[in-house]
Amino acid sequence: MGTEGYGAEGGVRTKGQGTAEKGEGLAGASELAGCLRCLVLGFAVCLGGVTGCLRSFVLGLPLFLGRVAECTEAAGLTAEDTPDESPVPGELHGLENAIAHVLWNCMRNDNDGLVNALEHLSANLERKELRDEAKEERRAEHEAARAEREAARAERRAAHDAARAAREAARHSS
C-alpha cells in the first residue's frame, strides 16, 4: 500500500482514496486548479512534489489566464470586470444572474460549451436591453401623446365653460 500524499485531514491517503497514481498527470486547467488548491490550503503535497506543483502552476498560469480572458470576452466584459468571488444567490436576477453563474463556472472549468453559453446569454441580454429601450421610448411617446390629449381636452373644456358662462350671463341679463 503506497502513500501518495497527506490528506486535508492530516491523515495519509493511499491509492484508491482520491489520489492519482504516479505518472498520471492532470491536464491544463485541472492541474492548475489542483495546484492552486495545494498552494492555498498548504496541506496536500501535489503530484511530483512541491517543485512539480510550482512548475505546473507557472506553466499552467498562461492557460488559466487565457481561459479567464476567453470567458470574460464571451460574457461581454473586460478584464477589469472579472469577478473575484462566486455570485451571491439572490443578488442578481434573470439574465444577469445566469451570466454571473455561467461566467464563474466557465472560469473554473475547461468546457467550450460554457463559452458558447456565455456568448448566447450575452447576446440575449443585449437584445433584452434593446427591447427595454424601445419599450421605454414607446412608453415616453405614449405619455407625451396622452399629455397632449389631456391638454387639448382641458382647452376644449375651458372653451366650453366660457361659452356656458357667456350664455348664462346673456340669459340673466335679459
**Tens-place pLDDT, residues 80-109:** 878 888 888 889 999 999 999 999 999 888
Let me know whether 33 and 117 are in one domain.
Answer: no
Let me know whether 88 and 161 are in one domain.
Answer: yes
93-97, Cβ contacts within 8 angstroms, sequence gap of 24 or more: 95/121, 95/124, 95/125, 95/128, 96/125
Let me know whether 87 and 164 are in one domain.
Answer: yes
Let me know whether 95 and 167 are in one domain.
Answer: yes
Domain termination site, one of 74, 100, 130: 74
Residue stretches of the chain with pLDDT short of 70: 1-65, 174
Model pTM? 0.52
- CB within 8 Å of 114: residues ≥ 6 apart: 71, 102, 105, 106
Q: What is the pLDDT of residue 64?
A: 59
Where in the sequence is the domain holding 109, given as residue range(s)? 80-174
Domain termination site, one of 74, 99, 126: 74
Let me know whether 55 and 104 are in one domain.
Answer: no
| Amino acid identity at 9 | E
Let me know whether 93 and 163 are in one domain.
Answer: yes
Alpha helices in the chain (DSSP H): 28-41, 49-74, 94-108, 112-173
